[in-house]
Structure 1
Amino acid sequence: MSEVKIVATLTPFPEHIETIRSAARAMVKPTHQEAGCLQYDLHESRAIPDVRDLATQGAVSFMFIERWKSEDDLKKHVAMPYHDDFLAILDGKLENISVQRLTAI
């Protein structure tokens, strides 16, 4: 099987930023311990509505950049109890969620 690359972006409602930041951080350590995890990095980003005005910042998002040994390893990750707990915390607190599979070109 071939490696799987994922980028997951979570944009919380402003009143839930701290809750989502804390929950996202808590995902990193146990995920790194999974046998099939090659990379699981968490980043915080601020939208820049106008590239000509870098000082103006928009919404806060959290991005997971993930690499898995195989599709099966990703499926095991999603089946972990702490992943279910994380999804429960996210419920109703996100303005947007985007999960994308990456393919090199």
Structure 2
Amino acid sequence: MAKLTIVAKTVAKTDSVESVKSEMLKLIAPTREEEGCIEYFLHQDNEDPTILIFYETWENYACFERHMSTQHFKNYVNTVGSMIKEKVVYKMTRVG
């Protein structure tokens, strides 16, 4: 089965960038310990600091689904909900 690549783009409200980033950083250590997590990296755009992107690789879709049901992920979603302007999650399979 092909591995799953996730690119999750979050646009924080201007006055909440540091808070959103702080909450995202809290996700890294526990997520990297999850079964099926191969890569989990946070990036911030050099031109627009409100744009934060997680680049993730998972063994399969089921592992990613389990990630979204973890307590640390649920805490993140509940905490940042009012601090973000936009969120887009791309679920992809490598083709080349």
Q: TM-score, normalised by structure 1?
A: 0.84
Aligned to 1:17: 17
Indicate the structure (1 or 2) with the bigger Cα radius of gyration. 1
- Of Structure 1 and Structure 2, the greater helix share is in 2
Matched, 1:33 2:33: yes
Number of residue-to-residue matches in the alignment: 95
CA distance in 2, matches of 1:72, 1:103: 14
Give 1:59 deviation, angstroms: 5.1
Give 1:95 deviation, angstroms: 1.2
CA distance in 2, matches of 1:62, 1:42: 7
Q: State the SS of the aligned residue for 1:62.
A: strand
CA distance in 1, matches of 2:48, 2:68: 30
Q: Give, as a single letter, the amino acid of the residue that structure 2 aligns with 1:67.
A: T
Structure 2 runs not aligned, ≥5 long:
none
Deviates more, 1:1-10 or 1:19-28: 1-10
Matched, 1:93 2:83: yes
Aligned to 1:42: 42
CA distance in 1, matches of 2:93, 2:59: 14
Q: Which runs of 4+ in 1 moved over 6 A?
A: none
- Report 1:75-94 matches (<5 A): 75-94=65-84
